[in-house]
Amino acid sequence: MTTASNPGRLYGVGVGPGDPELLTVKAQRVLLAAPVIWVPQAGISAESYAYSIVKNIIDESRQEVVRAKFPTNDEEAAGEVWRNAARDLAAHLEAGKDVAFITEGDPMLYSTFAYVLETIQEEYPHLPVEVVPGVSSVMAAAASAAAPLVHHGQRLAILPAVYGIDDLREAIALYDTIVLMKVNRTLLDALANLERLGLAGRTIYVRRATTERERVVRNIQELSAEDLDYFSLLIIRR
């Protein structure tokens, strides 16, 4: 998979939901060997969540850690941003260095890596890429709650947001289980309405599964403002 000039390989590495023990053996191997660790970072946040998961196995005296600012919302995420990000990354690869791009959870599910990957595939198709899948926060949340997501034959919907009660009601009508990736006030109000109508099934809230700040709540009436966490999700089973 290398070209004549032997470029480095880009690894998209899922580092799992939070517990460092939920890294895969392969992710550990790749992160120990890569000369360059690429850390996507929101401009404002002090430290990357993904990096906090792996920092104990990275040796900054030996490995180059590149903290790269990435957009955190869709408005910022113009093609230009990704092309610039990909260009910096490609320069390291062209210089023959392997780069491990870390993402919390899995790289193919709601990850910044997806945009970078697609830009690299388009603009630098000669550069070898390998994706190392990881444990998603969706599975980790279900594990922490000891609540199966779907049985054989059942349908699962994963939604990043819902837009009011009708939207949610439609998903509940068609799917056995729905995972709502971010918890906000509108969503909780919509859910409370559905519960009142007897349509919401069983709802479980999980915040930061597998970390020290993990919280599992089976009665969503108990949720407070501080539970509207970026790393929280809801599992709704019909």
Contact residues: a copy of itself, CB under 8 A: 12, 14, 16-17, 19-26, 28-29, 73-74, 77, 106-111, 113-115, 117-118, 121, 129-136, 139-140, 142-144, 146-161, 170, 174-175, 210
Cβ 86 vs Cβ 116: under 8 Å:
yes
Which one, 4 or 25, has the nearer CB to a copy of itself?
Answer: 25
Closest CB 160 distance from a copy of itself, rounded Å: 5
The residue assigned the tokens 């819902």 is 162
Which one, 64 or 219, has the nearer CB to a copy of itself?
Answer: 219
Which one, 23 or 85, has the nearer CB to a copy of itself?
Answer: 23
Distance of CA 221 to the CA centre of its chain: 27
CA atoms of 233 and 179, how far apart (whole Å): 7
> DSSP state, 219?
-
Closest CB 196 distance from a copy of itself, rounded Å: 25
Q: What are residue 218's phi and psi, to 5 degrees?
A: -100, -5
Task: Provide Rg for the chain, Cα atoms.
Answer: 20
Closest CB 205 distance from a copy of itself, rounded Å: 16
Closest CB 72 distance from a copy of itself, rounded Å: 9
Which one, 64 or 83, has the nearer CB to a copy of itself?
Answer: 83
Which one, 61 or 180, has the nearer CB to a copy of itself?
Answer: 180
Which one, 143 or 192, has the nearer CB to a copy of itself?
Answer: 143
Closest CB 39 distance from a copy of itself, rounded Å: 18
- Residues 6 or more apart in contact with residue 194 via CB below 8 angstroms: 165, 168, 169, 172, 200
Residue 100: what residue type?
A
Closest CB 236 distance from a copy of itself, rounded Å: 14
Classify residue 201 as exposed, middle or buried by CB count within 10 Å of its CB (0-12, 13-18, 19+): middle
Classify residue 236 as exposed, middle or buried by CB count within 10 Å of its CB (0-12, 13-18, 19+): buried
Tokens of 220: 């969503």
